[in-house]
Chains A and B, each alone.
Chain A
Amino acid sequence: MTEPNSSSTPVEAWITGIGLATSLSDSLDANWAALQDGRVNADETGFAPYVVHPLAPVSFDAQIPKKGDQRQMEAWQRIGTYAAGLALDSAGIKGNKDILSRTDMIVAAGGGERDLAVDSAILNAEAQGNTAPGFLNERLMSDLRPTLFLAQLSNLLAGNIAIVHGVTGSSRTFMGEEAAGVDAVRIALARIAAGQSDIALVGAAHNGERKDLLVLYEFGGFNLKDKYAPVWARGAQPGFALGSGGAFLVIESRKHAEARGAKPFARLSSVVADQSRRKQPGDITRTLESLWAKLGQLGPDGAIITGATGAEPATAEERAFLGAHPEFAVRATGTSFGHTVETQFPLGLALAALAISRGEMFPPNDPGGLEIEKAGAPSQIVVIGTGHWRGEGMALVEAVR
């Protein structure tokens, strides 16, 4: 058991591992190179009229060696288990039973894809008059694969990571769209800062190539249609393009990292979150301002990586907030990766930590000019996660001093 931190000074936490499997690539170098080149992988035809960012080709075997394990998972679980393995590799703790057996895991998750053919067949049969009591029961009993449930179940991404990679200290799954990703990192950091945990694996995965998810977001009119555009250039036609991707981080106390000789990408200094009621215009902007004030001491020339979705009114309100902080160069991950929902915030953190460790910010990708060039090495990057419907979060990622 970890000793409680009896001092009032929070334990310093480092990001020592990053795993990314995105629409651009599954390697940190290639993701970074794609950002440098402004490359975007958006598919306007496969789910037309909806735009999605499909997962880049990935060899799942590299992190999930047993085909039997892969078969037990839906795409989102495979993406997440894969990215989690990359993060453990990156931190140098893959296969280290001693450390993994006390690594605390917090996963932000939605659920898996439904069997679209089964749903459609049942609805068609019912529409054709098959309305006998128990018709639905009989079809579901015979047509649903028994293991599909486990492939859809939210906490089974964490379950699969435990099985495949042996992360067994603790396992918690947070749900609730974008906010789940923020809170997963917030709680992991709070536990480390208070001495309740030494090392944590935190992250999320999302499969954006799903018609059942498009239906859900179409209810609220949130999907980007017809043509891809950068997040800040969607004024006439707001919305988000769902993105596939997984982002996992290994976060640990500085002491724990130094004791095992681990090198940090960056320091994770603070994570704050709130949930605006969003009843009045300006509520989101005000909530973001109040979170900004809680981040800690901010220098004059930091940068911001935001997961702004492109959905309104959230993105316009966030833009108003950003306008009040023009000295911070802004980058929107939604432009390059699409909207990865639960993964939005861990992805932003991963890119912030990469930027800090590489001593440079990636270039703007915004014809409208909100994103500006940023020269030199950023020492502070604020990561913002504003939910399309609820939830606001921020983190401060800094260079290790």
Chain B
Amino acid sequence: MSATRDKFGRPIVVVTGMGVVTSLGAGKADNWAKLSAGESGIRTITRFPTDGLKTTVAGAVDFVKVEPFSSTELSERLADMVVEEAIAQSGIGGKGDFPGPLFLAVAPVEVEWPQRRALGAAIGRDTEIDYDQMLRVSGGGQFASLHRRYMFGSVADHLADTFGTKGSPISLSTACASGATAIQLGVESIRRGETDAALCVGTEGSVNPESLIRFSLLSALSTQNETPTKASKPFSKNRDGFVMAEGAGALVLESLEAATARGAPILGVLAGCGELTDSFHRTRSSPDGKPIIGCVRNALADAGMTPDQIDYINAHGTSTPENDKMEYLGISTVFGDLAGKVPVSSNKSMVGHTISAAGAVEAVFSLLTLEHQRIPPTINYDVPDPAIPFDVVPNTARDARVTSVMSNSFGFGGQNASLIVTGEPI
């Protein structure tokens, strides 16, 4: 076995570039400074009127302006930012010439209200508006740009064009696990020997009225609006839902062999990926926790590691009553006595839930944890839930020796994915 292959004989996959943007700011430096200081990016929503809404807080990325607002447009802009940062750090390829495929986690796409209103306006004041009338005015080319904008593949197409990724770019959704799935697809392609490099991105720009209302109608969101920075409280007894947030994360993955050959910075190793589907319910986890347990075990098996080798768990930790309870059940079943000892914190306490991007954003934060040897806290941990006796790294970051991190992502539709990142090859 050569030093560039893992114990299973597969090419070792490393990270050579990362980019991140969240409600805390743009770039790794700003995000890490605020994350390790325990700052929250959650604010009262100002992008649109919140009259009549049960939830009025979010982790919106308002410092990136999109007019007229479109979530898909914002997703594209955020993805641009993080890919640029990741490729610059990696130093891979030439300008607009990334030497590998793109795997993009992106929210499902559809025509949005500002654009739908433009159709309504085109119909004219004296005509009853319905979809037949909208169809009548949709053609003739006056809305031609909306076709491209609302193709599901449009964000990936833009990234492929801008950064010159190779082959057919893949847009994917595994709900809240999407970012992790994008990374898993990249890892698998390098392990198959198809490519030496892959660009894995997750992006989310979904703070718009209808998306927020959809989650609200499922009772998934926190309604503790009074102090926005306090709304996201993973693992707390008084947690009452997640906080929608925007952001993006990008990773340049390479085979260790290729990265070493070109003298690239090696930021960490993607040691293992696991997934397992839950068939219990559309939005709820199987009460026995078996799919989550199996997912975590699959990630450990894929990395060839045992629970005692995990120094820190970057939790899915959404702050919903259901998720945090089920995550504890899953982790405690696999980790046994270690579950009370290994630090488990949730970045979502600070940046909110970046949904499609979360797996990628949190993978970046996991790698920054390795780099800085400092574990970001779970903030707003004032009322511990006795049913979840994790060491949540409460409220204040902690210096620690961290050689390996597990990052979990669980989502609607029975989606479960776990990643393991390490400082050195295992």
Contact = CB atoms under 8 A, between A and B. Distances in A.
Contact of A211 (B53, B132, B146): B132
Given A177-B151, A277-B161, A393-B168, A119 B414 contact: no
B123 to A, nearest CB: 8
Contacts of B277: 105, 158, 162, 167-171
Interface string B211-229: 0011111100000000000
A216 interface: yes
A230 interface: no
Contacts of A190: 189, 192, 194
Interface stretch (A27-35, A126-134, A330-338, A351-359): A126-134
A163 B214 CA distance: 22
Contact of A176 (B140, B144, B156, B214): B156
A15 B49 CA distance: 53
A56 interface: no
Contacts of B209: 136-137, 140
Contacts of B119: 123, 215
A389 B111 CA distance: 17
B168 A168 contact: no
Contacts of A212: 110-111, 131
A110 interface: yes
A137 B51 contact: yes
A63 interface: no
A127 B120 contact: yes
A170 B174 CA distance: 10
A116 B110 CA distance: 13
A61 interface: no
| A-B CB proximity, top 4 nearest | A134-B51, A159-B413, A176-B153, A220-B147
A168 B279 contact: yes
B175 A275 contact: no
Contact of A123 (B120, B278, B413): B120
A154 interface: yes
B373 interface: no
Interface stretch (A16-24, A84-92, A181-189, A252-260): A181-189
Contacts of B121: 127
B196 to A, nearest CB: 16
Given A180-B152, A190-B189, A275-B168, 7 more contacts: A111-B152, A123-B120, A138-B51, A141-B217, A150-B412, A156-B412, A391-B153
B63 interface: no
Contacts of A153: 108, 173, 175, 412-413
Given A111-B108, A137-B49, A219-B146, A158 B413 contact: yes
Contacts of B160: 275
Interface string B143-163: 111111011110011001100
B349 interface: no
Interface in B163-190: 167-175, 181, 185, 188-189
A149 B414 contact: no
B278 A168 contact: yes
B139 interface: yes
A274 B291 CA distance: 35
A211 B193 CA distance: 44
B129 A174 contact: no
B239 interface: no
Contact of B138 (A167, A191, A219): A219
A142 to B, nearest CB: 9
A186 B101 CA distance: 13
A167 B279 CA distance: 8
Given A146-B217, A177-B153, A274 B167 contact: yes
Contacts of A155: 173-175, 411-413, 415
B128 interface: yes
A4 B191 contact: yes
Contacts of B282: 72, 150, 156, 159-160, 163
Contacts of A285: none
Contact of A138 (B52, B116, B131, B171): B52
B105 to A, nearest CB: 10
Contacts of B141: 221
A157 to B, nearest CB: 9
A158 B177 CA distance: 14
B213 A141 contact: yes
B157 A173 contact: no
A389 B147 contact: yes
B170 A4 contact: no
B157 A390 contact: yes
B412 A159 contact: yes
Given A191-B188, A389-B151, A215 B279 contact: no
B138 A218 contact: yes
A37 to B, nearest CB: 33
A144 interface: yes
A154 B144 contact: no
A176 B156 CA distance: 8
Nearest to B153: A176
Given A153-B413, A155-B173, A163-B414, A120 B131 contact: yes
A140 B48 CA distance: 14
> For B181, B291, B298, which residue has the most chain A Cβ atoms within 10 angstroms?
B181
A114 B113 CA distance: 12
Contact of A140 (B134, B210, B413, B414): B210
A9 interface: no
Given A179-B168, A183-B170, A390 B50 contact: no
B9 A4 contact: yes
A119 B411 CA distance: 28
B198 to A, nearest CB: 12
Interface in A94-152: 105, 109-111, 114, 116, 119-120, 123-124, 126-127, 132-134, 136-138, 140-141, 144, 146, 148-150, 152
A114 B171 contact: no
Contacts of B210: 140, 144
A196 B147 CA distance: 37
B311 interface: no
A212 B141 CA distance: 17
> For B193, B216, B279, B414, which residue has the most chain A Cβ atoms within 10 angstroms?
B279
A71 to B, nearest CB: 12
Contacts of B117: 123, 126
Interface string B91-130: 0000000000000001011110100110111000100111
A236 interface: no
A166 interface: yes
B173 A275 contact: no
Contacts of A390: 151, 153, 157
Contact of A174 (B51, B140, B145, B170): B170
A92 B206 CA distance: 42
Contacts of A216: 111, 146-147, 150
